[in-house]
Amino acid sequence: MQRFQDWDKRAGVSPYGSGALAGSSLGLDPEAVASDLGFFSAVHNSIDGTASRDVFAEFAWICSMIGVDLSRVSEEVILWATKEFSFVTLHDSYSTGSSIMPQKKNPDVAELARGKAGRLIGNLTGLLATLKGLPLAYNRDLQEDKEPVFDAADTLEVLLPAVSGMIATLTFNTERMASLAPQGFALATDIAEWLVRQGVPFREAHELSGAAVKLAEGRSVELWDLTDEEYAGISEHLTPEVRTVLSTEGSLNSRNSQGGTAPAAVERQLLALEAELAAVRKYAE
């Protein structure tokens, strides 16, 4: 919405008075007409008023970028909903059954969102291809700017509520997510960063963390399964306090800087987002 809000400043310019190319000699008042019609201003250059379609290309790009973002989120949902991940369960109203496999639940909205992103990118690409070889004047080719722009708007009108509804009705398997999050030595970086906070240079901390991974891997255990003695055998710096980051909760809480994953950091992100959304909602109204 912030992109559309910024785009609106350039879209709210009236082409009135540009004529076919070089303006008018009839004493028109483009600024007065622009004001009466609710535009921000009249175009300052008549060739821009007749030949430029930058504002439509920008609109198509914004729509494409929204489509790409929705596609990426949808790809995550598709993966999370697989049996292998089992992070989420799709609501029946945003999925369908398989035509052959009774147990399967198809992530229809997510898959269609990926496909619609390609359509939106195609609209943008087609419009840019139309514009790229035109001389700086009005050309009949410019009639082709309508379909991709209108289609992009129509596509988002369908896509946005569908994806938002899908996400709002997801059921998250938080217990499974929490159990898998620290596995595969995912906490090795936390050990290295903990050592840095104790004053160990990162180069050394990186090597010590790698040594802990090697030891755990050799024993076919996870990092938190190593004993205090085994950590001390790797380095005197690896005291029992290192266990404060050897859990998902500890890992999250240690990342409390701006943009981090600590609950306090996420809460600050949400507050900042709410403040931005308030301004956006005011614009949308």
Last residue of a domain, which of 174, 196, 223?
174
140, burial (CB in 10 Å: exposed 0-12, middle 13-18, buried 19+): exposed
In this prediction, residue 129 has a pLDDT band, given cuts at 50, 70 and 90, of very high
Residues 170 and 58 in one domain: yes
Q: Are 253 and 263 in contact (CB under 8 A)?
A: yes
The reported pLDDT for the residue numbered 56 is 94
The reported pLDDT for the residue numbered 47 is 86
Residue 274 lies in a domain: no
Residues 17 and 84 in one domain: no
Residue 167 lies in a domain: yes
The reported pLDDT for the residue numbered 150 is 97
Per the structure, the count of domains in the chain is: 3
d(CA 112, CA 159) in angstroms, rounded, equals 9
Q: 149-172, pLDDT tens digit by residue?
A: 999 999 999 999 999 999 999 999
Residues 134 and 21 in one domain: no
The reported pLDDT for the residue numbered 96 is 84
Residues 130 and 188 in one domain: no
Residue 168 lies in a domain: yes
Residue 25 lies in a domain: yes
d(CA 169, CA 236) in angstroms, rounded, equals 50
Residue 270 lies in a domain: no
CATH of the domain at 197: 1.10.40.30
The reported pLDDT for the residue numbered 240 is 96
Q: 42-71, pLDDT tens digit by residue?
A: 999 888 888 888 999 999 999 999 999 999
Residues 76 and 37 in one domain: no
CATH of the domain at 78: 1.20.200.10
Residues 121 and 190 in one domain: no
Residue 261 lies in a domain: no
CATH of the domain at 36: 1.10.275.10
Residues 137 and 166 in one domain: yes
Q: Are 50 and 85 in contact (CB under 8 A)?
A: no
What are residue 171's DSSP bridge partners? Answer: 89
Last residue of a domain, which of 127, 154, 174?
174
Last residue of a domain, which of 150, 174, 198?
174
Q: 34 — alpha (psi -120 to 50), left (phi > 0) or beta?
A: alpha
Residue 27 in this model has a pLDDT that exceeds 90:
no
What's the mean per-residue pLDDT of the chain? 92
Q: Which residue has the higher pLDDT, 179 or 23?
A: 179
Residue 271 in this model has a pLDDT that exceeds 90:
yes
Residues 198 and 226 in one domain: yes
The reported pLDDT for the residue numbered 215 is 96
Residue 138 in this model has a pLDDT that exceeds 80:
yes
Q: Give residue 148's domain range.
A: 53-174
Q: 194-247, pLDDT tens digit by residue?
A: 999 999 999 999 999 999 999 999 999 999 999 999 999 999 999 999 999 999
Residue 222 lies in a domain: yes
Residue 245 lies in a domain: yes
Instruction: Please spell the DSSP secondary structure of the chain, one letter per residue.
Output: -HHHHHHHHHHSEE-TT-TTTT--SS---HHHHHHHTT-SEE-S-HHHHHH--HHHHHHHHHHHHHHHHHHHHHHHHHHHTSTTT--EE--GGG-EE-SS-TT-EE-HHHHHHHHHHHHHHHHHHHHHHHHTT--SS--GGGGGGHHHHHHHHHHHHHHHHHHHHHHHT-EE-HHHHHHHTTTTTTTHHHHHHHHHHTT--HHHHHHHHHHHHHHHHHHT--GGGS-HHHHHHH-TT--GGGGGGSSHHHHHHH--STT-SSHHHHHHHHHHHHHHHHHHHHHH-
What are residue 105's DSSP bridge partners? Answer: 97
The reported pLDDT for the residue numbered 185 is 94
Residues 74 and 32 in one domain: no
Residues 92 and 59 in one domain: yes
Residues 10 and 84 in one domain: no
Q: What is the mean pLDDT of residues 25-42?
A: 90
